Amino acid sequence: MKIAQVNVYFQPFMLGGAEWYVYNMSSELVKLGHEVHVFTANRYNGSTAPQSESIDGISVHRLPLKIDLTYRAKVWDGLREGLEEGSFDVVHSYDYAQPHSVTAMRAGRQSGSGTVLTIFDVHSMIPRVWYKRLPMRVMDGYMARRSLPSADRVLFRSPNLIEPMSKLTDCAGKAIVTPSGIRDDCLSNFEGGAFRSKYDIDGAPMLLFLGRLNPQKGPQDLLEVVPSVLKEFPTATFIFVGPDQSGYRSHLESRAAELGVSPNVRFLGPILDFQDKMSAYAASDVFVLPTAYEGTSQAIFEAMSQSRPIIANRVGGVPYQITDGVEGYLVEKGDLAELSSRIRDVLRDKNLAAEMGRRGRERVSSNRYSSLAATMCSIYEEVRRAN
């Protein structure tokens, strides 16, 4: 099949889980013998990437932006023409609430391609300051009613997203749950010792946060419990990995200084190299993600692949990834006392941590991208035959 994947960003602009999902899924589809083209924006944060190139067998088409206001207010130049002229069997777009998905679904229909739309999050479910809630609900409904009707299939990362989306627009008969996953080689044994040596944390308990440095992801909550954890584990080191958004890293660094914990906290920025990222998971004792909302967390699955116990908030699709007390602990959003207590419980009991890690690795092994890509191909074949 000839497949078009459409996402707001792609390599080298790997901002988060959506970008990694598109890259990993596209790579597996190429391995299965399909021709994959990714359409994406050509610039991010002042940087511009080449108009076209081949990455791991994926044909990447980067389009200029006619409008580039915010993450969800972008209009691409030439997307409709590229999709309509490409003779694609399937056009698959990501994020219903972006103009590119409206264009992609309509272009796919116009050219006779099968159309697939993936929903990572229902945006109006994500906690926001009060003055953004009503505009987000209005935009959510408007964009959903423009993008979903042209999709042959609507794919949800977790089952809890289907009902709220159905309230925005009817997607009965189209919905399929297609979870995120891990690369097959995530299950390899990675060496965490070199990572620990590099950052001088040999022998100390290491807690890892991996995600965007953004209030929604909750790095500030993890930072607030550092003093209470250090009372019992004074050498513990808290590693924050991820891209800075809107200068939030400087706020976190200032807060660490105010709390007097700067020597035990490291902000490393994003780690894009796969081996280095997996070594960070392997080096950690606990993976912590106190996020305010998550459709499905790629980072949680990757940490589980390296047998790390997970401590995360009971929000969004996270409870569909881990079971409280089995692969880790779920805590209530904003309950910092519980977050601190669960971190110390896991650090205190190495047997418990090992057993949680073993169960997590066992669970996530069924979510390998090679298996997920085979399922995706079945969906593609179905929509192709119907058009």
The residue ranges of every structural domain in the chain are: 2-181+368-385, 184-366
Distance CA 166, CA 164 (A): 5
Under CATH, what is the fold of the domain 2-181+368-385? Rossmann fold (3.40.50)
Distance CA 237, CA 85 (A): 53
The percent of residues in the chain predicted with pLDDT above 90, rounded, is 68
**Exposure of 69 by Cβ count < 10 A (0-12 exposed, 13-18 middle, 19+ buried)?**
exposed
Picking from 206, 225, 220, the residue whose alpha carbon sits closest to that of residue 250 is 220
Distance CA 50, CA 277 (A): 25
How much is the pLDDT for 170?
85
DSSP state of 217: G
Distance CA 229, CA 364 (A): 29
User: Which residues does residue 324 pair with via DSSP β-bridges, in sequence order?
Assistant: 328
The percent of residues in the chain predicted with pLDDT above 70, rounded, is 95
List Cβ neighbours of 117 (8 Å cut-off, separation of 6 or more).
92, 93, 94, 96, 101, 105, 147, 148, 151, 153, 154, 155
Picking from 157, 115, 154, the residue whose alpha carbon sits closest to that of residue 4 is 115
* Amino acid letter for position 253: E
If you average pLDDT over residues 277-306, what whole number do you get? Answer: 93
Tens of pLDDT along 175-195? 999 888 898 999 998 989 989
pLDDT of 140 over the 80 cut: no
The residue with greater pLDDT, 163 or 57, is 57
Q: Answer yes or no: same fold for 2-181+368-385 and 184-366.
A: yes
Distance CA 349, CA 206 (A): 14
* Amino acid letter for position 131: Y
Confidence class for position 128, pLDDT limits 50, 70, 90: low
| Beta strands at 114-119 and 43-44: parallel, antiparallel or unpaired | unpaired
Peptide bond into 12 cis (omega under 30): yes
Looking at the domain covering 184-366, what would its CATH class be?
Answer: alpha beta
As given in the structure block, the two tokens for residue 85 are: 């002229």
Picking from 145, 143, 130, 177, the residue whose alpha carbon sits closest to that of residue 295 is 177
* Amino acid letter for position 291: T
How much is the pLDDT for 134?
65
pLDDT of 126 over the 70 cut: no
How much is the pLDDT for 203?
84
How much is the pLDDT for 125?
66
If you average pLDDT over residues 303-312, what whole number do you get? Answer: 97
User: Is 289 within 8 Å of 297 (Cβ atoms)?
Assistant: yes
- Average pLDDT score, the chain: 91
How much is the pLDDT for 132?
66
